[in-house]
Amino acid sequence: MYIVQIASECAPVIKAGGLGDVVYGLSRELESRGHCVEVILPKYDCMRYDHIWGLHEAYKDLLVPWFGGTVHCSVECGWVHDQLCFFIDDHSDDHYFNRGKVYGDNDDQMRFAFFSKAALEFLLKSGKRPDVIHCHDWQTGLIPVMLFEMYAHHGMANQRVCYSIHNFKHQGSWGEEALIGTGLNRPEYYFQPDRLQDNGNPFAINFMKGGIVYANYVNTVSPHHAWEARFTDIGCGLQPTLAVHQDKFGGILNGINNDIWNPEVDTHIPTHYGLEDFENKALNKKALRDRLLLADNDKPIVAFIGRLDQQKGVHQVHHAIYHSLDNDAQFVLLGSASEPGINDLFQHEKSFLNNNPDCHLELGFDEELAHLIYAAADIMIVPSNYEPCGLTQIISLKYGTVPVVRGVGGLVNTVFDWDYDSEHGQEVRNGFVFYENDSVALESALGRSLDLYHKEPQLFEQLAKQGMRCDYSWHQPGNYYEAVYENIRHK
């Protein structure tokens, strides 16, 4: 099959979170099965250009219809490691992709509506006719709408769309302007409850809802989260829309890329290790301590890696720092906060906690350091409020770092409690799970992990190794997506 992925992120060139990992990892998996995969991204100024090889012009004058006129774009193409990617460069005065950041501007909806339009225009004009267009999250929700309402009438009637939702919280709501800009005129037609009208605000259209209504297949990124989105307020108002479209909606767990997230070959860690030489993990622990000026003692390292926002349970992360320090453990945090209040809180904590030889907080985004922490830590906490899939616990398992997670979303599908899991045998349990969203529950699960580390080190090692044996590669998700694509392309 010929598959084109259209997304706002693709690791490692541009990554704000798990979406970037998924776009890259899934593309690689599909290519390894013999499919032809191309990725279309905006050409941001803030990309990691050192990860792109052979960048060159692929399409010179792409004139993208926009608000009745045209915007001059060009398209460049290059290899992100082994993945062929196309980058849409807009030359308008709006500089949609030259903002020094990926998200967070007031006109984000218009920026990504424009990107979606430009990506389709590129496919149309360059004669590319993929079997499947796979698009992701609200940023590309208008793609199936435009494809089936406009582009199908201009020679793209055979393309099918798989639409993956990585986060229901951000849906992309905007007014009539987005319709007029993209050429989806006739607001009265789209402002309907069964089309794009926002379920909570009748004066807004909702990009994600458009994706759900128009795509041939819709999924979120774990089976449990698919259930939560349909039947609880985790669906953020889209529950009725998902109910109407339930026959084409499912949950497919994300995988991780074995070349990138693998302690046996990871280029970012000083000492490789696997099940056979697990003791070498300790050398990475030593390296992390040296790098962060932590004391070299016999305490476990508890870690957190992730965005510092409400979704990730910041108050619980904050609590876990002190609970770990009070219970004979070290704590390492790597996180970035986009909300000023949260950033200020952690900056403040950092200003004195980093003087503690058992604690280090690193605020910012650092891919290389993340690899070292996964390899060095003993325990990873993931106390999320909600978690569509979660990659940090999956990566931790691969690195023999025991996850302590809250039982929501994809965390339920990937982590099985050492003491209490009723569905999985002792030999496949791989972490600790708590359910209530309060500090007592967190302390209990984190406490059980620390107890096992201190009192039963051999059992703790056995648990860590059981995690390493779990297969959360792209193999199984690749099977599912392949089956989805096969299914929709014949419809």
Binding site for ligand ADP (CB under 6 A): 17-19, 21, 305-307, 334-336, 365-367, 370, 389-392
CB of 361 to ligand ADP, least distance (A): 11
CB of 359 to ligand ADP, least distance (A): 17
Which letter, b or e, does each residue of 293-314 get, where b requires 16 or more Cβ atoms within 10 Å of its Cβ? ebeeeebbbbbbbbbbbebbbb
CA distance 302 to 458: 18
Q: Name which of 10 and 204 has its Cβ closer to ligand ADP.
A: 10
User: Would you give the DSSP letter of residue 279?
Assistant: G
- Contacts of 283-291 with CB under 8 Å at 24 or more apart are 284/372, 284/375, 284/376, 285/376, 285/377, 285/378, 287/372, 287/376, 288/332, 288/372, 288/373, 288/375, 288/376, 288/377, 289/376, 291/372
Q: Name which of 328 and 367 has its Cβ closer to ligand ADP.
A: 367
CA distance 38 to 45: 21
Classify residue 163 as exposed, middle or buried by CB count within 10 Å of its CB (0-12, 13-18, 19+). Answer: buried
Q: Name which of 54 and 341 has its Cβ closer to ligand ADP.
A: 341
Rg (CA), the chain: 23
Q: Is 165 helix (H, G, I), strand (E, B) or coil?
A: strand
Residue with the two structure tokens 């496919």: 123
CB of 426 to ligand ADP, least distance (A): 27
CA distance 301 to 412: 24
CB of 369 to ligand ADP, least distance (A): 7
CB of 156 to ligand ADP, least distance (A): 31
CA distance 205 to 216: 20
Q: Name which of 335 and 477 has its Cβ closer to ligand ADP.
A: 335
- Tokens for 34, please give them: 């013999």
Q: Is 261 helix (H, G, I), strand (E, B) or coil?
A: coil
Pick from 84, 30, 67, 66: nearest CA to 75: 84
Pick from 92, 136, 83, 100: nearest CA to 118: 92
CB of 377 to ligand ADP, least distance (A): 12
CB of 442 to ligand ADP, least distance (A): 18
Pick from 133, 1, 30, 8: nearest CA to 480: 30
Q: Name which of 241 and 392 has its Cβ closer to ligand ADP.
A: 392
CB of 221 to ligand ADP, least distance (A): 8
CB of 334 to ligand ADP, least distance (A): 5
Q: Name which of 212 and 334 has its Cβ closer to ligand ADP.
A: 334
Q: Name which of 77 and 236 has its Cβ closer to ligand ADP.
A: 236
Is the separation of the CB atoms in 467 and 402 below 8 Å?
yes
In sequence order, the 6+-apart residues with CB closer than 8 A to the CB of 189 are 195
Residue with the two structure tokens 């996850």: 403
CB of 17 to ligand ADP, least distance (A): 3
CB of 400 to ligand ADP, least distance (A): 16
Classify residue 60 as exposed, middle or buried by CB count within 10 Å of its CB (0-12, 13-18, 19+). Answer: exposed
Q: Name which of 190 and 304 has its Cβ closer to ligand ADP.
A: 304
Q: Name which of 181 and 313 has its Cβ closer to ligand ADP.
A: 313
CA distance 363 to 443: 24
Is the separation of the CB atoms in 41 and 88 below 8 Å?
yes
Q: Name which of 142 and 395 has its Cβ closer to ligand ADP.
A: 395
Q: Name which of 69 and 364 has its Cβ closer to ligand ADP.
A: 364
